[in-house]
Structure 1
Amino acid sequence: MAAPDSRPIAVIQTQRMGDLILTYPLLLWLARCQPGRPVTVVADAGFAGPLSAISPRADYVPLERARECLGSREHSLVVNLGIRPEAARLAGEIPAETRLGPVADAAGVIRVRGDWQLYRASVVHLNRHSRYHWAELNALDIVPPALLAQTAWPPPRRGGPGRRKVGLFVGASQPDKRPGAAFTAGLARELVRRGLVPVLLGGPGEVALGAEAARLAGIPVSNLCGRLGLKELALLGQELDLLVCPDTGPMHLAAWTGWRVLNLSTGPVSAYETGPYQPGHYVLRPRLSCRGCWECLRPSVFCRDRLDPARVAYVAARLARGEDERLAGAHIPGFELLRTAVDGFGLRRLEPLAAPGCPAAGLDARELVGEFWRAAFGHFFGLWPPTVPRSAAAALAGGLPALHAALSRKLVAFGGVIGRDLRRGRVPDASFAASFAPGLRPLAGYLERLLQNTDGDRASRLACLSLLERTVGLLRG
């Protein structure tokens, strides 16, 4: 009888704090599907150290010491979840049977390995219809679908009638995500008016922002900006009933530790990809056609500037008091309220809570198209049978038949363009997918990256033709 394979696994995640926390589900799944294998995570020590108390079991090393620690031992698997060139070089240097994510070869050429890792790369700047969360994309090339379906996440702690404290996180890694001092001050006043106690939270970089919000509030307000480390923030969250925050690392810290989140999803961010992951959290965002962008192209950040303190406070107060049921069917003018959930395949979903009959509850072309592409790629990469994307195509055809017909026509025309380029051996440049209609860009973007990733070899050209043919068949039912 052969001895069990105990070769280690290396996971490289050199991005920000939120990205590291979104790696934690993968670490749990690895412990279940590959038990006994030691796991080392290459990460920023400034995040890994303070978060060690809540991290799944793993050894952590900084990127600067990774070659010294990992470069001499054969690994069964190396997963690079980072985008830095140094991370790709490290992924290519660690001896391993299997490598996933961006990997640099001996000549320094970086190629992405793994269907789902390539899908993630393909939605950069083309994520309008992307519906997969990054915590899932970290894992889908490795973790069996059955394990995802069996995973049960504990619900976040609910508030109650006697609970009153609400955390307001004032900062974010990108300025366009930050609600601003005037909004935070107005929200604090609205919460106090509803009998709640707001607590301003932020890191060392938000000290000035917190002080300005406290000054503008014009009322006594607790301001802890810059006074808590990550460990202390997680401990404080056990005493607070809700965290109201933009898409930021502390949002993921809160969700992971069971502190309920109301995510104000504004700026260049998609709640489908990087909002709170576990079920039972809430997302509030302005109802704009440009929502969920990769990069804001407007002269001002319209979605952020439309945040209304009174409407946000209404939702926050319901959640802080445990009155979730009263939000079902709520109509919040100019906004859409969504709740995180899990589908029958164990994948994360966003459930809209709009009231039937209100304008926000109508058929949404963008969401119907997004659901089709989610279902199509899930079928292409083995998550579910063809009945799932065919059902999504039928929903699109039944709800918006003109859009379904237009998408079908444009798909045929796209087939002519990509077919001609494939016959001529052309490898598309970075502008290829963006030249097509938004409804076609999920497929166009993936084929663009697939051909670039392989220098347009014969196998990838045949794969492109196969995916195109399968998509046409799914869309037509």
Structure 2
Amino acid sequence: MASEAGSIVVIQTQRMGDLILTYPLLLWLAREYPGHALTVVAEPTFAGPLAPLSPPAAYVPLARGGELAGRGHDLVVNLSIRPEAARLAGELAAPRRLGPVADAAGVVRVGGDWQLYRASVVHNNRHNRFHWAELNALDVVPVADMARTVWPAPRTGGPGRRRVGVFVGASEPDKRPSVDFTARFVRELAGRGLVPVLLGGPGEVELGAEAARRAGIPVTNLCGRLGLKELAVIGQDLALLVTPDTGPMHLAAWTGWRVLNLSIGPVSAHETGPYQPGHFVLRPRMSCRGCWACVRERPVCRAGLDPARVAYVAARLARGEDCRLAGARVPGYELLRSARDDAGLYGLVPVSPDHRPGGRPDGPCDAREAVGGLWQAVFGWFFGAWGEDRAALALAGLAAGHPALAGRFSRSLAGLGAALGRDARQGSVPDTGFARRFAPLVRPLAGFFERVLQNGDGDRPSRLRCLSLLARLAALGSRP
């Protein structure tokens, strides 16, 4: 922790949801660096309307970011992927700069272990179990401090709160339910005595109008009629928001408006689900769930949503009857609740007590969840978030629940080591296809090595670091 007041700059020029997921970082920075001036470089379209809901900070648009270059700063955190943001991060003088930073020649390198890890999961996120809100902060905020943060529980429904918001859009068409689903869902809600309210921005005006027309019943349609401030205000009087993964979903969760997230399409609830505890996620029981980009002709995870069953879940939540959801079943999907794991980080807990995420009743967690948990434990150990016992326990759990997979894991690590040695002898730096040569089982580590070696131009320290991490993991597997 810095001992004297100074300046911290956070650069977040992505979409609305990304900005809201930066708010926890701003809270934690205020605690870790008391008295420091905090400046956020962000898009004014979102920063302005959301400023009353943001933790205290000065907001500056990217176009004026150069005004910060003449000052000294204690810390710069660039959370944006835009080239202009990397250039700005390179222009700001600070002893520590995290995230993408461009040098005078325009070469971009990523500062910080966790920011480098985050870069490595682009198109390689199958087994990532770290939420973006926490990846924003893990380089500067200890896990223990995150765990001590107490988030207010979302407002629960009740007999007197019958209105349910239904957000019809998303940043990508594949992330939202079909218009036909929305229309049928609205009818189902109304049939259960609830009052559906269609919500959306200017880009969803036509979607909202078509859903209302197909519903065939009187329905309040506010698509395109509310700004962000108005949406936050109206949410205080609604019992629930049913929504795909959207910026308004994060706005709702941040302001205590309870969420039922329909997590479909190329999105992972582990990464961008509603962050505060006490919200709900409905996601497909499919091996390809949580993808970065759909590789099928169409996102089949959208097709199986049953409006009647989803309306049953929404009605229980809207009425505050969470306890009656333990037996709820939506065929092909699983219902989870946002919570905190034993380390205090974001986690998804199955609502039905006799099911584990993706697993069989009373059986072990499915292979994908076991592997995801293992890599979460391993990278947290690598980067000092916790000790090796957590990683050892996760590896032992994989071996006990999926022995054949554990054997393949060991063999794949050996193959990864051989590839590192071969590239070192040849003096080659991995290209962007390096990680894809390996099975998804070990691709998280291969992807991280790819980024480490690229970040260091394949120099000796970067190669030694990769070999050292691999040796530590191999030794973990040989523990008695």
The TM-score normalised by the length of structure 2 is 0.97
Deviates more, 1:355-364 or 1:329-338: 355-364
Alpha-carbon distance in structure 1 between the residues aligned to 2:149 and 2:427: 44
Structure 1 residue 194: Cα displacement: 1.1
Structure 1 residue 334: Cα displacement: 1.0
1:360–1:260 distance in 2 versus 1, CA, 3 Å: farther
Structure 1 residue 457: Cα displacement: 0.8
Alignment partner for residue 139 of structure 2, among 141, 145, 158? 141
SS in 2 for 1:97: coil
Deviates more, 1:53-62 or 1:351-360: 351-360
Partner residue of 1:52? 51
4+ aligned runs moved over 4 Å, structure 1: 357-360
Deviates more, 1:103-112 or 1:139-148: 139-148
Alpha-carbon distance in structure 1 between the residues aligned to 2:238 and 2:477: 47
The reply on whether 1:151 has 2:149 as its aligned counterpart is: yes
Alpha-carbon distance in structure 2 between the residues aligned to 1:4 and 1:132: 30
Letter in 2 for 1:439: L
Partner residue of 2:8? 9
Letter in 1 for 2:139: D
Size of the aligned set, in residue pairs, is: 474
Alpha-carbon distance in structure 1 between the residues aligned to 2:354 and 2:47: 45
Alignment partner for residue 384 of structure 2, among 382, 385, 393? 382
Structure 1 residue 329: Cα displacement: 4.6
The reply on whether 1:445 has 2:447 as its aligned counterpart is: yes
Structure 1 residue 455: Cα displacement: 0.2
Alignment partner for residue 435 of structure 1, among 434, 437, 460? 437
Structure 1 residue 471: Cα displacement: 1.4
Could you tell me whether the CA contact under 8 Å between 1:408 and 1:476 is conserved in 2?
A: no
Matches within 5 A, 1:252-263: 252-263=250-261
Structure 1 residue 288: Cα displacement: 0.9
Could you tell me whether the CA contact under 8 Å between 1:148 and 1:345 is conserved in 2?
A: no
**1:138-185 Cα shifts (integer Å, max 9, x gaps):** 000011222112111111011113321110000111111121211110
Alignment partner for residue 416 of structure 2, among 414, 417, 425? 414
Matches within 5 A, 1:108-257: 108-257=106-255
Letter in 2 for 1:236: I
Structure 1 residue 402: Cα displacement: 1.1
Alpha-carbon distance in structure 2 between the residues aligned to 1:328 and 1:394: 30
The reply on whether 1:101 has 2:81 as its aligned counterpart is: no
Could you tell me whether the CA contact under 8 Å between 2:310 and 2:330 is conserved in 1?
A: no
Could you tell me whether the CA contact under 8 Å between 1:354 and 1:360 is conserved in 2?
A: no
SS in 1 for 2:145: helix
Partner residue of 1:28? 27
Alpha-carbon distance in structure 2 between the residues aligned to 1:344 and 1:371: 12
1:457–1:291 distance in 2 versus 1, CA, 3 Å: same
Partner residue of 2:316? 318
Letter in 2 for 1:34: Y
SS in 1 for 2:323: helix
RMSD: 1.4
Partner residue of 1:465? 467
Structure 1 residue 422: Cα displacement: 2.1
Deviates more, 1:216-225 or 1:326-335: 326-335
Structure 1 runs not aligned, ≥5 long: none
**1:194-253 Cα shifts (integer Å, max 9, x gaps):** 111110000011000000000000001110000100000000000001000000100000
Could you tell me whether the CA contact under 8 Å between 1:330 and 1:355 is conserved in 2?
A: no
Letter in 1 for 2:476: L
Alpha-carbon distance in structure 2 between the residues aligned to 1:22 and 1:240: 22
Letter in 2 for 1:426: S
Alpha-carbon distance in structure 1 between the residues aligned to 2:340 and 2:122: 24
Structure 1 residue 304: Cα displacement: 1.4
Alpha-carbon distance in structure 1 between the residues aligned to 2:331 and 2:477: 34
Structure 1 residue 476: Cα displacement: 3.9
Letter in 1 for 2:43: D
Partner residue of 1:274? 272
Letter in 1 for 2:17: G
Alpha-carbon distance in structure 1 between the residues aligned to 2:21 and 2:355: 36
Structure 1 residue 456: Cα displacement: 0.7
The TM-score normalised by the length of structure 1 is 0.97
1:357–1:102 distance in 2 versus 1, CA, 3 Å: closer
Structure 1 residue 4: Cα displacement: 5.0
Structure 1 residue 353: Cα displacement: 2.4
**1:344-395 Cα shifts (integer Å, max 9, x gaps):** 3221111122452797544310000000000000000011111101111111
Structure 2 runs not aligned, ≥5 long: none
Structure 1 residue 88: Cα displacement: 0.0
Partner residue of 1:474? 476
Could you tell me whether the CA contact under 8 Å between 1:336 and 1:360 is conserved in 2?
A: no
**1:411-442 Cα shifts (integer Å, max 9, x gaps):** 11221122221233221111110111001100
Letter in 2 for 1:446: F
Alpha-carbon distance in structure 2 between the residues aligned to 1:475 and 1:368: 15
Could you tell me whether the CA contact under 8 Å between 1:393 and 1:476 is conserved in 2?
A: no
**1:35-84 Cα shifts (integer Å, max 9, x gaps):** 0000000000010000011000000010001102x111100011000000
Alpha-carbon distance in structure 2 between the residues aligned to 1:82 and 1:411: 32
Alpha-carbon distance in structure 2 between the residues aligned to 1:246 and 1:171: 7
Alpha-carbon distance in structure 2 between the residues aligned to 1:378 and 1:357: 26
Alpha-carbon distance in structure 1 between the residues aligned to 2:166 and 2:475: 48
Letter in 1 for 2:426: R
SS in 1 for 2:237: coil
